[in-house]
Amino acid sequence: MTMKFKATRRDIKSYYGNKIINIGYCQAPTLLSYEEPTSYCAGINGWDCDNYEINGVLVSTGYRTIKGKSNYKTVQKYEQLAQKHSTGNSFLDAEAHKMAVKQLLSSMISEMMQANV
C-alpha cells in the first residue's frame, strides 16, 4: 500500500491537462475497489476528493472533484457491469472478479476519453 499525498488543484490540472475524469462521491465504488488513490485534495472545509492515476489518466472522485470529463450514464453502466461480477467464496473467483473489474475500469476510461464530453 502506498501513501497518498496532498495535491493542489492547480498542480493536478497543470500536469494532467485534459486527461482528467471526474466521478461524484460513491458513484463507482466497485470500479475503484482494487485501486489505491495516489493523491487527494482538501480545502478549508476538509477533504474534497481522492485522485487515482490509471493508464495515464487522472480519475478524481469525491465531494468536490477536479473538473474534467464526466458522464454519469457511462459511469453507471460500467459500475453496474462491475457489480454483476460479484465473487463467490473461492479465491479463484475473487481473482477473476478483480481482473474483470480492472478491465471494466480501463474500458470506461477509454470510452470517456474518446467521447467529446
Domain limits at 30? 5-114
Q: Give pLDDT tens digits along the chain (117 positions).
A: 678 999 999 999 999 999 999 999 999 999 999 999 999 999 999 999 999 999 999 999 999 999 999 999 999 999 999 988 765 555 557 888 899 999 999 999 999 999 865
Task: Tell me the pTM.
Answer: 0.90
The number of folded domains in the chain is 1
In a 10 Å sphere around its CB, with 0-12 CB exposed, 13-18 middle and 19+ buried, how is residue 71 labelled? Answer: middle
The predicted structure's pLDDT at residue 94:
80
SS3 29: coil
pLDDT score recorded for residue 97: 84
Question: Which ranges of 1-117 does DSSP label H, i.e. alpha helix?
Answer: 9-16, 72-84, 91-114
